[in-house]
Every structure is written in structure tokens, then in C-alpha cells.
Amino acid sequence: MSDHPVFAVVGHPNKGKSSVVSALTQNDQVKISPVSGTTRVSQRFTLKLDNSTVFELVDTPGFQRANKCLAWLNRQEVSADQRPQRVKEFVSHFRETKEFMDEVELLTPIINGAGIIYVVDGSLPYSPEYETEMEILRWTGSPRLALINPIGGDTFVDQWQQALNQYFSLVRVFDPLHASFDQHLQLLRTFGQLDTHKTQAFDHAIEELEHYRELKLQQAARIMVENLHRLLTWQQSSRRLEQAAKERLNALIPDEIARFNCQLNQMEREGQKQLEALFLYHQLESDIAQLQVHETELMDETQWSLWGLEKRQLILVSAGAGAAIGLIADVGLGGTSLMTGAVSGGLLGGISGWLGLDWIKDKLPAWLPYSAEKHLLGPVRDPNFAFVILGRALSHAQAMLAHSHADRSQLNIRDEQLKRMQSLELKTQVRLLKQCQQLRKEGPQSKAADKLRQWIYQQLTA
């Protein structure tokens, strides 16, 4: 017998057993299909904390011949205390045959000491045909928990609860596609109640999982700040522009900008993949608008304002941040007061602080400087770029954290989700812009980086 808790996940075919296993073990590689009977051989999956196994779930085939199985068990009249042995005899008798392949597969881990998690679909009405399955499980004498999975809704949940309470000591509703981390922990506490000999071990494991989750969120904030720094400081070697005759610039520059965009997108996706791997997402695909920093997309009002700040917000925030454009403002001032007096009067002159000033600037977008001496294109100097990167990173991270490992759909991040930076208070926007400017200059080990990490962590745990 294993020294960690083991549970066999059983039930009728196509009731979401594999989805429950995938969600609870945080394993997106568990095979899931809408086709009935996808699982034909029992598979074991574990939830591990570092190198220690918290528990093990056995994903089993569904019952296929429950009526005939129970009929075989009843051929010999036995008392209640002999029923578990009778189930063992059934498994032994049919182990080498194909007559009850699925029943043998699902009962084997149970007779070897596994607890039972019985999964039903709460969107479908209860039917007496399930009583045969539940009676077989009762014959095993093993600890039993029933999970109602509202695959298509919760219309018949109450009906199921009334029936299941007669066969199972514990009945819970659990949606593996939408359950939060806290709901996962609550279900683990229920596992501890099911196996009373290991309740204390489960309580300790839950504390460790909560602590481990916190450490991962802190690590996620660190990864996001490091990626922000990479994107804010990215420069691309562009010797072709230096060597080209001026009449060829119009033909070369679009290619250079496209190459610049491609590298930015690649770096952003690498950062996202780091986060996904950190939280054990190995097959997650994201659907998010491409990061395009050129005049016709990111830098125009229609697209740029979707991801970063609107033009009016950016003027206020840039004025408040001061360092980016040579303006001094009191961060404590609120609202439109930042646009009054000397601030608004000096704003237009200050904006030139993020424009390129080299001989090629009349051909390149103003936000993308080019160094003729070092043959480098970039970095992006426009202050809104930091808000764009932060907003996109937070949208991806929060959508990922809410995405179940059992959900095989794409991670869809809509434009509305990318507007989060616009909803922040002005003083917060100003503070973030200052910290991003310092991050660009001083790197990911700076005090500004620490403050950004703290703010991101707060957003992820809110």
C-alpha cells in the first residue's frame, strides 16, 4: 500500500472523470475528449510538492457492464463483511479475460486500497441505472466520495445529491473547468475527511500548497519585471540602415521595423511561456493581439489606447512622472491640475525628449530612435510603451491563473481585458511610469524593480 493517499476516480463513461483528474493534479497532459470511452486503461497521476507526492489519482475507464458485474457478485450469497472479498474474487476471476475489461481496470486500484471518487454529471437527470454502479462501489467497503460535475449546468444537482447521499458519506459539487484555487483546497480538505487516518497529513499538505502558491506568485512577479526590462531596453542591430544610400531607406525601414516587432513579440511570448511553465501549463495556447510597435498600429490612437493609456491620460501621467520629459510635477496633485500653468506650457517642448534626433529620424517613426554611431535601432522611448507591456503581461497572467488545467481551449485575452492600465488612479499611473523609467536605467535589481514586483504581486493576488 502506498504511503500517500490514493483515490480511484470512477463513474459512468463521459462524465468528466479525466477533467477532474487533470484539474486536481494540475496536469494539462491528461487525455480529455468529448468522445465516450477515451480512457480504456487506468492511468495514475500525482500532485507533487517539490519532490513529495501529496496524493495520487487513478483515472479509470467508465463502467460498461455494471448490471452483469453486480449479477455475478450476487450469484453467491454473502454477508456484508464478506462483500469486499467477493469483489476481489471478481477481479481475480476476470483479470485475464476480456469480458469485464473496464470493470476490472476500475476495481483493481480500489481492492488495492484506493479510496473512491465517483463522478456524475449534474446537468443530466438522475436515473436508477446508476444505482447498480453505486451498489458495486458500496460492496468494496472503501471510503467513498461523490463529485457532482455540472458539465452542462446545475439543473439536476439537487436531485443527484438526494440520491448520492444514500450511497456516499460525502457528496460535493465540483466544476473542474471553473473551480478556483481556494475551491481546489476545499476539496482537498474533503479528501482528508474521506481518509480519516491521513487528515492531519492533508491539512499539512494544504498549508504547504498555499505557501507554495504564494512563492510561485512572487516568482511570477519577478519574471514579469525581468521581461518588462528586456522589452523596455531592447535594441536591434541595424547596420543596413547605416550602409544604405538615403534613397533606399524607404524600402529598408519597413523590413527593419518588422524585424524589430518580431523580436519584441518573441521576447514577450518567452516571458509568457515562463509563467505558464511555472504554473505547470505545458500545452496552453494563447490568443492575444500581436504586439506591433509601428505608426499604423500601436502608435495610433485607435489601437494603442486599447492596450496602454489614452492620449489625454498619457499627457497627464507623463507630466506627473516628470523624468521622462523634463517636467516637474507634484504627484500628490490629482485630476486635471497637472495640466495647468507652467506644466501645460512646457509640455510640447518636453515631448521631444522621446523623439529620435539622428539624421535618419525623418524616415523612422519618431518613437523609435536610431544610433548611427552604434548601428542600433531602439529602444522604444515612448512612455506609453511601459503601460502597454504591463497591461498585456497582467492580462495574460490573470487569465492564465483562472484557466483550469482541465480546460483545453485557448487562453482568450480580449481587448477589453487589456485596458486595465486606463482604470488605475492617476497617482498610481504616475508612480508606475516613474518606476518603469528607473527600471530601464537601473535594471531588474533596482529598488524600482522591487516596487514593481510588489505592485504586480498585489494585482495577481487581488
CATH superfamily of 6-194: P-loop containing nucleotide triphosphate hydrolases (3.40.50.300)
70-106 pLDDT, tens digit per residue, is 999 999 999 999 999 999 999 999 999 989 999 999 9
Q: Which helix (H) or strand (E) holds 454?
A: helix 447-461
Note the pLDDT of residue 346. 28
Q: List the one residue out of 65, 74, 140 whose CA is nearest residue 102.
A: 65
Nearest CA-CA partner of 295 in 262, 254, 356:
254
Q: Work out the burial of residue 105: count CB atoms within 10 Å of its CB; fewer than 13 is exposed, 13-18 middle, 19 or more buried.
A: buried
Burial of 69 per CB tally in 10 Å (0-12, 13-18, 19+) = buried
Percent of the chain with pLDDT over 90: 54
Whole-number Å distance between alpha carbons of 321 and 351: 13
Reduced to 3 states, what is the DSSP secondary structure of residue 357? coil
Domain boundaries, the chain: 6-194, 211-461
* Pairing outcome for strands 52-59 and 43-49: antiparallel
Q: What is the pTM of this model?
A: 0.81
Residue 348 confidence class, pLDDT cut points 50, 70, 90: very low
All residues at 6 or more sequence positions from 366 whose CB lies less than 8 Å from its CB, including other chains: 354, 355, 356
Cell of 171: 457528496
Structure confidence by residue, pLDDT tens digits, 229-239: 999 999 887 66
For 417-440, the pLDDT digits (tens) are 777 888 889 999 999 999 999 999
Predicted local distance difference test score (pLDDT) of residue 324:
38
